[in-house]
Amino acid sequence: MDASGSQQLLDGDWDDISDSEFLNIPCEQQDIDPHRPLSSETDGEHSVDFDSPSVSTLSVYNHNEEALGQETVKTDYARGLKRKSLHENSFSPMQRFFKRHLSVTLLCDQSWCEMKTVYSLLKPHLKRKDLQCTEVQRGKEIHLLRELEIQDTVPIDIRTREDAEAIKLLNMLHMIPLLEAGERVREFPVFGVQEGVFVMGVIDELMYNQKGELVVNELKTRKCNSMPSSAQDKVNCFQVGLYKLLFDGLVRGEVKKDHVLNHLKLRSAQVLGARVQAHAKSIGVQVTTFEELLDALLITVSCSDLPCVDMLQLEYYHQGSSGPIGNRVAPFDEAQLRAELQGYLAYWTGQREPKGVDIEEAWKCRSCLYEQTCDWRKNRSQVSDQQAAHASSCS
């Protein structure tokens, strides 16, 4: 039984094919003064998303009359964001884009093209339109059908950000004993601090193989009835590698209560809503406040019998026929993965400027939403033209 926020249908949030990250921007910025350091405590009513398909924190915001009254401010600020230079460096990108955390989805997008990720934040309407396309919707349907194969969804009324996050923690608490008993679980949230940045994701499926190894199984749906290109494969391997880092950190007890409370600006003493408390009780968890629930989750996961992830698997399905295309075991090189992650996070923490694709990956630009407006692509074309002109003048 998987609990979900009752406003789920209004949002359609989804993890690895979702727009959950940029949907956070209007929510997170609503009560933030752009001139004030973002570390200050907020009123706790704007959205933070655990990158989960199950809970719509944006919808919580939409149901808040006070928040609706701030629509004008929000729109003006969005225009201001568009006018800002990509290279403005008075705030780090984490601050500039009002991010308390990064999602695995966003980091995977970044590994495809960092500049594209930045444009998707500056021009969210374009990405939103793209996500309405048939293939994304079909992928969502297939994911949902798979999730419902093994667990029902119970809608729960949520009123605060803490309620929304509590639902995800309760889902974890519900799934941990199932996993300990050798069952498979789907949509398992994971989170932790990497290089000083809070990162969240949702593992598609966790199960044991015949050797008794714990496997992360990531379902990918494809329009083409063929295995992905090496470039796409690289992104997918990075994704499941991140899941392992985050999951292993949880079971090793590396995630601390303060990481969650401080990074996400959640109120520890916030009393959970009556429906959330009732749901907690129904799965054997007696809690009143968010802090009590967070303590319960962190102790349960770190003291559980769960092992670290042994194997990473990618499972490809064809969207048209819903039939399998093939499986692939993803390699895991922790040092390489951490180095790659460090490189991506260096942009978010303001240590370097964003960059677009290398010349040998210029083919990515041909299917990019931002091809016409991308400065990186324009500059690269100019450099190529100058080099060609120089070569012909020398010959």
Residues lying near ligand SF4 in the complex (CB under 6 A): 113, 115-116, 119, 356-357, 364-365, 368, 370-371, 374, 376-377
Burial of 55 (0-12, 13-18, 19+ CB in 10 A): buried
Residue 163: closest CA among 61, 300, 254: 61
d(CA 95, CA 138) in angstroms, rounded, equals 34
Identify which of residues 276 and 368 has a Cβ nearer to ligand SF4 in the complex: 368
Minimum CB–partner distance for residue 55 and ligand SF4 (Å): 30
3-state secondary structure of 197: strand
Q: How far apart are CA 95 and CA 348, in angstroms?
A: 9
Q: How far apart are the first and last CA of the chain?
A: 71
Residue closer to ligand SF4, measured from CB, 334 or 353: 353
| Shortest spacing between CB 113 and ligand SF4, in angstroms | 4
Closest distance of CB 362 from ligand SF4, Å: 7
Q: Quick one: tokens of 305?
A: 């019998």
Q: Least Å distance between CB 203 and ligand SF4?
A: 28
Is the CB of 141 or the CB of 371 nearer to ligand SF4?
371
Give the contacts of 257 (CB within 8 A, at least 6 positions apart). Answer: 268, 291, 294, 295, 298
Cα 46 from Cα 31, distance rounded (Å): 8
Closer of 116 and 263 to ligand SF4 (Cβ): 116
Closest CA to 265 of 103, 75, 66, 28: 28
How far CA 152 is from CA of 4, 148, 155, 171, in Å, comes to 10, 6, 10, 12
Residue whose CB is less far from ligand SF4, 122 or 166 = 122
Minimum gap (Å) between residue 370 Cβ and ligand SF4: 5
Q: Which is nearer to ligand SF4, 198 or 370 (CB)?
A: 370
In the complex, the smallest distance separating the C-beta of residue 129 from ligand SF4, rounded to whole angstroms, is 16
Nearest approach, Cβ of residue 354 and ligand SF4 (Å): 9
CA 22/CA 122 separation, integer angstroms: 9
Instruction: Give the relative orientation of helices 71-83 and 20-29 as an angle to the nearest 10 degrees.
Output: 120
In the complex, the smallest distance separating the C-beta of residue 212 from ligand SF4, rounded to whole angstroms, is 42
Nearest to ligand SF4 by Cβ — which residue?
356
* Residue with smaller CB distance to ligand SF4, 113 or 301: 113
> 115 or 156, CB closer to ligand SF4?
115
